[in-house]
């Protein structure tokens, strides 16, 4: 089937001078036609980073059109009943605009040490949690006896507005592929290159088929940082070093830096690899810089995307 290419925007750190700049940025995204806003999950940090679920709830109240999600919630660090309830609440109050994304959490994250969490069990904890979340969203009154979670007569209400609330899964390991094939309705890449995205997409499709499931061709996503300007711009060295420390990947190979041609070229590489939904993160700092970078994304990239990949009209 033909795919619909959609461009969202994401935040890792809080690069604004204050709340006023953040809300001006959210308003620009809402009015400018950006598909979705995504907040990275980080609990422990020295740099300012918004707590993801609280941020989504606030964005839900500020906006009326734009969708939003987390890229991705570190499920192993959170209680699954509370997380299921938070997602359902936000989906209800936003009238069905939540895009939940789930993962096991980066092994590079400081939370494991700071919070005395066992990183070695994060995969199995996440698998149990995803089963619990999916069953609670389905309206079950749940008795559950797992290795990491136990529940008796657990249920939540209200249920999500979306009857099949999306469950996007992150990660590129074999376990993440199996997790996506079993529980996911979509897959969202993190630092993966276009070549790696192509490999993961193919693996997920094969695993989903083996499990008797299908995942919509439109439900594979990719992410990268962009900068209208050059590597010599103020602050870019700091941004690049922080990215490398967080992901282990060279920022020069991962970022799209230059003009609209460079951003479109990177998008095209990922589209060719099988991705349809995108999270683009501005490499910017301060209100003026964030607004300027986002405005160019709205005014230059979104029209180019619409012209190159016209939106698909599906029959009712």
What does pLDDT average to in each consecutive run of 10 residues of the chain (316 residues)?
Answer: 89 96 98 97 94 98 97 95 98 97 90 94 95 97 97 98 92 93 93 95 96 94 96 89 82 92 97 97 96 98 96 61
Q: What CA–CA distances, in Å, run from 146 to 126, 127, 304? A: 12, 10, 49
Contacts of 273 (CB under 8 A, 6+ apart): 194, 195, 197, 198, 201, 222
Closest to 201 in 3D by CA, of 223, 217, 212:
217
CATH of domain 6-308: 3.20.20.30
Question: In angstroms, how far apart are the furthest CA atoms of the chain?
Answer: 58
Q: How many residues does the chain have?
A: 316
pLDDT score recorded for residue 313:
67
CA nearest neighbour of 170 among 197, 134, 152: 197
Q: Which of 79, 67, 231 is nearest to 144 (CA)?
A: 79
Q: Domain coordinates of the chain in residue numbers?
A: 6-308
pLDDT at 247: 78
CA distances from 222 to 32, 43, 304, 316 (A): 21, 23, 18, 28
E strands, 117-232, in order: 142-145, 150-154, 168-170, 186-188, 220-228
What is the rounded distance in angstroms from the CA atom of residue 189 to the CA atom of residue 222?
Answer: 5
Per-residue pLDDT at 316: 45
Residue 19 is predicted with a pLDDT of 98
pTM: 0.93
pLDDT of residue 223: 95
């Amino acid at each position: 089937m033909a795919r619909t290419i959609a461009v969202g925007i994401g935040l890792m750190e809080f690069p604004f001078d204050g709340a006023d700049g953040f809300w001006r940025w959210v308003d620009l995204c809402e009015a400018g036609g950006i598909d979705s806003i995504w907040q990275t999950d980080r609990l422990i940090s020295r740099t300012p980073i918004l707590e993801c679920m609280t941020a989504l709830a606030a964005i839900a109240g500020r906006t009326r059109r734009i969708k939003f999600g987390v890229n991705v919630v570190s499920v192993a660090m959170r209680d699954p009943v509370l997380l299921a309830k938070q997602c359902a609440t936000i989906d209800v109050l936003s009238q069905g605009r939540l895009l939940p994304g789930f993962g096991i959490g980066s092994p590079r994250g400081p939370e494991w040490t700071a919070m005395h969490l066992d990183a070695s069990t994060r995969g199995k904890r996440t698998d149990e949690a995803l089963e619990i979340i999916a069953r609670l969203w389905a309206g079950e009154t749940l008795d559950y006896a797992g290795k990491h979670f136990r529940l008796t007569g657990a249920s939540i209400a209200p249920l999500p507005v979306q009857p099949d609330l999306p469950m996007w899964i992150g990660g590129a390991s074999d376990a993440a592929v199996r997790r996506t094939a079993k529980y996911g309705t979509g897959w969202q890449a993190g630092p993966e290159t276009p070549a790696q995205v192509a490999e993961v997409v193919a693996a997920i499709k094969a695993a989903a088929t083996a499990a008797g499931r299908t995942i919509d061709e439109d439900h594979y996503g990719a992410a990268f940082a962009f900068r209208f300007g050059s590597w010599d711009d103020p602050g870019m060295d700091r941004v690049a070093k922080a990215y490398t420390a967080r992901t282990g990947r060279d920022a020069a190979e991962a970022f799209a830096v230059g003009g609209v041609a460079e951003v479109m070229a990177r998008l095209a590489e990922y589209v060719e690899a099988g991705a349809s939904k995108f999270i683009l993160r501005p490499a910017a700092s301060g209100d003026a810089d964030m607004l300027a970078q986002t405005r160019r994304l709205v005014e230059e990239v979104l029209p180019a995307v619409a012209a190159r990949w016209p939106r698909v009209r599906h029959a009712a």
